[in-house]
């Protein structure tokens, strides 16, 4: 199944609406699902004026804030807000937003809508019911037997409910919670709910947020990845509410959770598709730039030289222009060669990877550079990774060459190579003490074809572009951190898949 088929299946399965705001031509477009959410006709043409009626002031600000977050983060962001449809129905929408930049300026916003009205209503109703039952519990001196009343109400709900004492130890959990975690009441009672749920991919900031809320006796809401009894992963959206007695003392905490694994996985998949689409757009822009600018420039120069040769009768003058013509054809050939290399990388993206010893490969590649730069490395000897060896060699070679080429004139060049694992990737960092890059100024140029950041005569602006394409062909990624005047750190993320 290709990306487009996955994309269409995702939209159909979860009734996801697509929207697009093009700032270049001031055009807004909605697909059929989005129009159904807003309860407008199929021929409705949204614009910047007629869409304002769907938002009150508060929700319009929320939507604009979401767009601003997308600009600041430069990655897909997610938010929720209300709308008022043409039929005066209040709906809750969940929105994913992605922004496309040209010359560091936002050119286009696009993303998805999902109608979560029923989910929101169900959660609100359940919270209200629990608040009512909580008051009963408090007035009855928090007797555990009264929890049976809540059990009767909560038994059939798909939402997970767990109640803890003021220390965070569980005193009751409903059937949905027990089914999700594969735990019995005996397993749960008297223990903290996270005693078996924390795993390697759990967001510890979310756990910290929960613990802080318990300490301060405050409400909180978190979304994080959890693990059941058998260490199987699931995503949980959890609302925690403290319950107080008539004297203002906290007597218990009630947690209402919802298994959002299917939705979250599709959201992650959709975000990935949006990111891939964005990457493809950037690559197309690069190719368009090369074809329209570089190749056109070379051919125009060659044509100009031919015209001059044709117009002069002096043999010596004709011969002098032959060298210029030769130089022009070499530049044109090199540009075409670079384009062909990138196309070849994309065609070879499914080439079978080979397991290599990372430390040995790095030492082999860096051996020829040790007289020109001081290199230290702390890669464990037992780390083996799956790569296309030629791509690994070329990527590391480019980073080494750049560390030497863009060294500071004030100090001897130093390169530190380190290793760690993160987010399921093998991460190899190359930290130099060279000229560095102004990231804020050159954000839109990073890893672009024929983009350079310094005045070096031998700077071609192709090495990092090729390196980025090669590591992405291996399902990895490359990132850079840099401070102008102090140096740069390039991080290579190698994917085992």
User: Looking at 17-31, 161-175, 438-452, which range is the least confident one?
Assistant: 438-452
Based on the domain organization, do 192 and 102 belong to the same domain? no
Based on the domain organization, do 292 and 158 belong to the same domain? no
* 265 in any annotated domain: no
Query: Cα–Cα distances in Å, from 80 out to 60, 65, 128?
Result: 11, 11, 21
Based on the domain organization, do 497 and 358 belong to the same domain? yes
- Residue with the two structure tokens 């038994």: 155
pLDDT tens digit sequence for 33-76: 899 999 999 999 999 999 999 998 888 888 888 888 888 877 67
Based on the domain organization, do 66 and 142 belong to the same domain? no
* 49 in any annotated domain: yes
pLDDT tens digit sequence for 307-348: 877 777 777 777 777 777 787 787 777 667 766 666 666 556
Last residue of a domain, one of 315, 347, 379: 347
* 264 in any annotated domain: no
Based on the domain organization, do 17 and 85 belong to the same domain? yes
Pull the structure tokens for residue 304.
């100009």
pLDDT tens digit sequence for 134-187: 554 444 344 444 444 444 444 445 788 888 888 888 888 888 888 888 988 888
Based on the domain organization, do 127 and 107 belong to the same domain? no
Please give the tally of structural domains in the chain: 4
Based on the domain organization, do 107 and 124 belong to the same domain? no
């Amino acid at each position: 199944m290709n990306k487009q088929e996955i994309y269409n299946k995702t939209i159909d399965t979860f009734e996801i609406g697509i929207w697009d705001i093009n700032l270049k031509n001031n055009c807004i477009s909605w697909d059929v699902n989005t129009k159904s959410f807003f309860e407008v006709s199929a021929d409705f043409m949204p614009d910047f004026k007629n869409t304002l009626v769907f938002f009150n002031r508060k929700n319009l600000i929320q939507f604009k804030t979401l767009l601003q977050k997308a600009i600041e983060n430069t990655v897909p962001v997610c938010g929720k807000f209300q709308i008022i449809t043409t039929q005066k129905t209040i709906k809750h929408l969940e929105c994913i937003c992605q922004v496309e930049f040209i010359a560091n300026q936002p050119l286009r916003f696009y993303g998805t809508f999902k109608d979560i009205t029923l989910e929101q209503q169900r959660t609100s109703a359940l919270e209200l019911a629990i608040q009512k039952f909580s008051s009963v519990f408090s007035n009855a001196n928090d007797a555990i037997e009264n929890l049976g009343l809540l059990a009767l109400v909560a038994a059939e709900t798909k939402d997970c409910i767990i109640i803890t004492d003021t220390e965070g130890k569980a005193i009751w959990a409903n059937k949905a919670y027990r089914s999700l975690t594969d735990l019995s009441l005996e397993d749960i009672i008297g223990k903290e709910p996270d005693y078996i749920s924390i795993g390697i991919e759990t967001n510890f900031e979310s756990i910290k947020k929960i613990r802080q809320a318990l300490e301060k006796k405050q409400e909180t809401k978190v979304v994080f990845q959890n693990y059941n009894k058998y260490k199987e992963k699931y995503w949980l959206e959890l609302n925690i509410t403290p319950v107080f007695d008539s004297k203002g003392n906290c007597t218990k905490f009630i947690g209402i959770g919802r298994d959002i694994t299917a939705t979250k996985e599709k959201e992650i998949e959709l975000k990935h598709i949006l990111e891939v689409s964005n990457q493809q757009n950037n690559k197309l822009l690069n190719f368009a730039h090369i074809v329209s600018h570089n190749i056109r420039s070379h051919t125009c120069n060659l044509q100009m030289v031919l015209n001059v040769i044709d117009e002069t009768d002096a043999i010596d003058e004709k011969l002098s222009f032959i060298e210029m013509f030769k130089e022009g054809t070499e530049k044109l050939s090199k540009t075409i060669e670079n384009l062909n290399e990138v196309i070849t990388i994309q065609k070879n993206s499914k080439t079978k990877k080979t397991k290599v010893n990372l430390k040995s490969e790095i030492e082999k590649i860096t051996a020829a550079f040790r007289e020109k730069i001081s290199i230290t490395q702390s890669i464990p000897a037992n780390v083996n990774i799956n790569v296309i060896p030629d791509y690994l060699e070329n990527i590391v070679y480019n980073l080494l060459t750049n560390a030497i080429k863009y060294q500071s004139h004030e100090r001897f060049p130093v390169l530190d190579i380190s290793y760690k694992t993160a987010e399921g990737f093998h991460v190899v960092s190359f930290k130099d003490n060279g000229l560095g890059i102004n990231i804020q100024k050159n954000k839109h140029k990073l890893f672009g074809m024929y983009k350079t950041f310094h005045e070096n005569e031998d700077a071609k602006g192709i090495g990092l572009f090729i390196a980025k394409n090669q590591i992405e062909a291996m399902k990895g990624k490359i990132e850079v951190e840099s401070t102008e005047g102090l140096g740069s750190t390039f991080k290579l993320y190698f994917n085992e898949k």
